[in-house]
Amino acid sequence: MEWQQMTGFQSPCAEYAEKRLSLDQKYFSHPSSMFVMKLMSSYEIFSLQKNDHLVIDRSLHPKDGDLVVAIISSEFKVAKLSLHSGKKILLPYNVVINENCEDDFIWGVISSLHRGLLHDRTR
């Protein structure tokens, strides 16, 4: 329950009041195609740490240099998409993607990263 003081006058600052911050509106531009994944291991090559939360947007078309979540050997892996000599390669795994089976490998594009600053307090 919010407490409000009734004075009869609106605050002069009321026109500058901001809306409540909604992380859903800020980070989820396509809610039906976006997912959050928690990393269970570090990817030092991409400066990703264990327990980071990745926001993955499956509606984005992957471009050269994008970090993506790919399915490699039946496991989700973080990889960087590289276009080299007309071929799409997932680094550091050196997996070449054929045009026919691109959807089988790239699951989604990583759109943002969220990292906790405090150590795990459940201990």
Q: What is the pTM of this model?
A: 0.71
The CATH code of domain 35-114 reads 2.10.109.10
What are the extents of the domains in the chain? 35-114
pLDDT in tens, the chain (123 residues): 566 666 666 667 767 777 777 767 777 777 778 899 999 999 999 999 999 999 999 999 999 999 999 988 888 999 999 988 888 889 998 888 776 654 458 899 999 998 987 766 565
pLDDT at 53: 94
Exposure string over 101-110, b if 16+ CB within 10 A, otherwise e:
eeeebbbbbb
